[in-house]
Structure 1
Amino acid sequence: MDKRFIYKLNDKPATAGRVVYWMSRDQRVQDNRAMIFAAERAKQTGFGFAVVFCVAPGFPNANAFHYRFMLDGLKEVQQELESLNIPFFLLTGRPQDEIPEFVKHYKVKALVCDFMPLKVPMAWRAEVAASLDIPVYEVDAHNVVPCRFVSNKQEYAARTIRPKIHRYLGEFLTELPRIERQEAVFSQSVPSADWKRAEGFYPCGGSFPLPTGTKAGLETLADFVSEGIHRYDEGRNDPNEDAQSKMSPYFHFGQVAPQRAALDVLNSDAPQADKDAYIEELIVRRELSDNYCLYNPRYDSIEGADGWALKTLDEHRIDMREYVYIYEEFEAAKTHDPLWNAAQKQLRHTGRIHGYMRMYWAKKILEWTPDPETAFGYALLLNDTYALDGRDPNGYVGVAWSIAGVHDRAWFERPVFGKIRYMNYNGCKSKFDIESYIKKARF
């Protein structure tokens, strides 16, 4: 395992013994550097390793669809692990309580966890690491170029992080070793996973918008590689074109690795322009989002924006708004704008919103709320609550880019927006068939 992907969360010395991988962000078996590292450590010491997942009740803004998407995917993980003789333990409760108790009960000697730059999981890991007398290792299994390694500061924009990422792509963007069947026994006592208890935290009833799990994610990726990637460069910003990968939920829940998507796209016969455009979004922009959330503790607030953006928004704080809506009106898609309403309906009923429309959607919230702080809060809450890829660095940065100019530059000044980049109905009309999009979103 390349040490550049590993970050030690405490200073406890390593000793031989059982290894546990505390799975969280990266919910898959293969193409998982954290899993690989845990397997390697266990093999070196001659002991077995196990995987544990802790379902936390009441994760902020998570809903029944999110829990169902996650838990159904985890059942697939359990089945694959069992076929490899690797125990899977399902815990329920506060991770900062459950993980240390598990470690002590099974006399674990090393704990491996995922990298995730958001406050809640970072606080969990820090508390767990501080409470244990064994080494706790964080492995970046999400990014192709490890986030902590590629930069030690908040990057200003894509243009500043892009050369740093591309410098290492050839080195890191390679096939990863497969997880093989484990011969050593972790423990003679492995209780059955209590899925009913986990599902009881948030009843997972009702219809579901799309299939879940690594198998479904890889099938979606295969469809994109055979069809969508060949028109990605020109078609990705047209909501009526089937050119986007539809992979964001699978990336968010870690069911498919961005590394796998990148390799499959680069190995396809698509034109180079399409490959380049996808790699820019998949790696550069996605990893820029992780960088922002890691190094900016105010990533979930408008206060995380640059000074120029805060200044221009404040200068236009009292500008007259032609329309002002409360949260419930946005949530119910009851604005005067049929295009915005269509985007919101798509989000609520499918768990997805087209990338181009998400920008328009967020910018209109800025235009139709009494102040920037309210707009930022509304947009985050709607995205986190209804998007299957909500509560994600990409989502936070998407809102921050749209409303507060994060990773963008100052544009021509106008009412309400100040120098924040502007989007409007007529601009969308010039780029794609608005009526066709609105008709598709009638639920």
Structure 2
Amino acid sequence: MAYPSSVQSGRVRVLKEGSRPSDREMGPVVYWMFRDQRLRDNWALIHAVDQANKASVPVAVGFNLFDEFLGAKARQLGFMLRGLQQLHRDIQDTLHIPFFLFQGEAIETIPTFLEECGASLLVTDFSPLREVQSWKDEICKRVSDSVSIHEVDAHNVVPVWVASEKLEYSAKTLRGKINKLLPEYLIDFPKMGPPIKKWAATNCFVDWENLITEVVRKGAEVPELEWCEPGENAAMEVLMGSKSGFLTKRLKNYSTDRNNPLKPKALSGLSPYLHFGQISAQRCAIEARNVRKLCPQAVDAFLEELIVRRELADNFCFYQPQYDSLQGAWEWARKTLLVHAPDKREHIYTREQLEKAQTADPGWQERPVFGKIRYMNYAGCKRKFDVDGYIAYVKRLVGEIKKRKAETLLNEKKKELRI
């Protein structure tokens, strides 16, 4: 069972302090899940259950599905929703916590649900993105004065606001700060049981199959991947599996081969699970640290990418409001771009041509000019790995996929003829 002291205070930010009315009891706790879509090793969920048990009130989890979000298509949304489908089942079966799925704008759906259930506390995931921060600001304005709102950084090992109070220049300037804080924050997770008080019987049915089918249909221009299985269990299999787990079978070559595109198995394969929060970066770090004696160089390289580099990205987005614009780049970079804007180029491409890789160079060469702004041109690639071998490898993958799709289509037509 988790207790009120389970989550370090530095991991939680109070976005709004509610005023408890004297004429009524405390209402339930609602955890608005967004970035950390998992049941296990989730500091935000632990905090929500802690606070619910402390007040002897029930707790529920809500997830808001947006009509559109940053260009996500079938590949991203299908993976996410299939993972949430598993989470919905597991959280109700193991912790007996209801899971509600909302659709629409969060600034409308979340306050409405809080009012309907009479919630006293909203716990939410941390995200550095500008849109998410603005939603939370608006929700703080819309909810009742009696509702408190807590934001928990369950995505980073060291909470972004604890790691640094300012925009960091590079991994070098952030690394030392994070390493000093790891003894405090890179710790084991507490055990968590069902909440003391259960949520009143309610209908939490979600028609996942129809929802996923519709979302995948709308975003079909970027189809789903066949080889990447979603969900917490699949994520742990990639990390620790007995057949091809990263830490159990593939770790030793990580430091030497991870940048060779002809050796994709050298990579951890954890990126999609970390992105959607289907596995905790802290869990990955704990397990990697446990096997460091076997492959110290590989583990150190992995922890550098997993902790320092990932958290540097969050630092940039959190402290630089113009993170998605050239205006958010450092001054030296902007000046260099302006100075070299008139440079003559052998080829001029439209944005569409670049997006479709319709260039004159197999390595997507832009221009043979080296300076402060670097890019990977064909000649540079040839010095680092077998470019022709990589191109052949990708063509082979594409051919195999097209062949499987053609076979599937043929089988479907045969079934139709039988009917």
User: TM bucket by the smaller chain?
Assistant: 0.7 to 0.9
Counterpart CA distance in 2 for 1:173 and 1:332 is: 42
What is residue 93 of structure 1 aligned with on the other side? Answer: 104
For residues 143-191 of structure 1, the C-alpha deviation after alignment (integer angstroms, 9 at most, x for no partner) is 0000011111101111111000000112211111233223421122233
Asked if 1:224 corresponds to 2:246, the answer is yes
Out of 314, 318, 323, the position equivalent to 1:290 is 314
Structure-to-structure mapping, 1:355-394, within 5 angstroms: 364=365, 367=366
Query: Retained in 2: the 8 A contact 1:221–1:245?
Result: yes
- Once the two structures are TM-superposed, the CA of residue 202 in structure 1 deviates from its matched residue by 5.4
Structure-to-structure mapping, 1:271-286, within 5 angstroms: 271-286=295-310
Counterpart CA distance in 1 for 2:184 and 2:117 is: 37
- SS for the counterpart of 2:60 is strand
User: Which amino acid is 2:285 matched to?
Assistant: A
Structure-to-structure mapping, 1:266-345, within 5 angstroms: 266-268=289-291, 269-340=293-364
Out of 181, 185, 207, the position equivalent to 2:198 is 185
Out of 255, 266, 273, the position equivalent to 1:233 is 255
| More off after superposition, 201-210 vs 138-147 | 201-210
Counterpart CA distance in 2 for 1:121 and 1:263 is: 29
- Once the two structures are TM-superposed, the CA of residue 139 in structure 1 deviates from its matched residue by 0.1
Out of 331, 351, 374, the position equivalent to 1:421 is 374
Out of 77, 82, 91, the position equivalent to 1:67 is 77
Asked if 1:246 corresponds to 2:240, the answer is no
For residues 297-341 of structure 1, the C-alpha deviation after alignment (integer angstroms, 9 at most, x for no partner) is 01000111111111111000011121222232223332222234x
Out of 92, 99, 110, the position equivalent to 1:82 is 92
Query: Retained in 1: the 8 A contact 2:79–2:224?
Result: no
Asked if 1:8 corresponds to 2:10, the answer is no
Out of 12, 37, 52, the position equivalent to 2:47 is 37
The alignment's TM-score, normalised by the length of structure 1, stands at: 0.80
Query: Retained in 1: the 8 A contact 2:56–2:196?
Result: no
Asked if 1:256 corresponds to 2:279, the answer is yes
User: Which amino acid is 1:119 matched to?
Assistant: R
Number of residues paired by the alignment? 372
Counterpart CA distance in 2 for 1:244 and 1:425 is: 23
Counterpart CA distance in 1 for 2:332 and 2:356 is: 33
Counterpart CA distance in 1 for 2:239 and 2:190 is: 20
- SS for the counterpart of 1:426 is helix
For residues 202-237 of structure 1, the C-alpha deviation after alignment (integer angstroms, 9 at most, x for no partner) is 536655332111111111112111122211111111
What is residue 414 of structure 2 aligned with on the other side? Answer: none
Counterpart CA distance in 2 for 1:95 and 1:298 is: 23
- SS for the counterpart of 1:136 is strand
- Larger of the two Rg values belongs to structure: 2
- SS for the counterpart of 1:90 is strand
User: Which amino acid is 1:263 matched to?
Assistant: I
Out of 171, 192, 198, the position equivalent to 1:158 is 171
CA spacing shift, 1:306–1:198, aligned 2, 3 Å: same
What is residue 410 of structure 1 aligned with on the other side? Answer: none
Counterpart CA distance in 1 for 2:215 and 2:66 is: 8
- SS for the counterpart of 1:219 is helix
The alignment's TM-score, normalised by the length of structure 2, stands at: 0.85
Query: Retained in 2: the 8 A contact 1:17–1:42?
Result: no
User: Which amino acid is 1:129 matched to?
Assistant: C
Q: Could you tell me which runs of 5 or more consecutive residues in structure 2 were left unpaired when the two chains were aligned.
A: 1-6, 399-419
Counterpart CA distance in 2 for 1:207 and 1:96 is: 29
What is residue 129 of structure 1 aligned with on the other side? Answer: 140
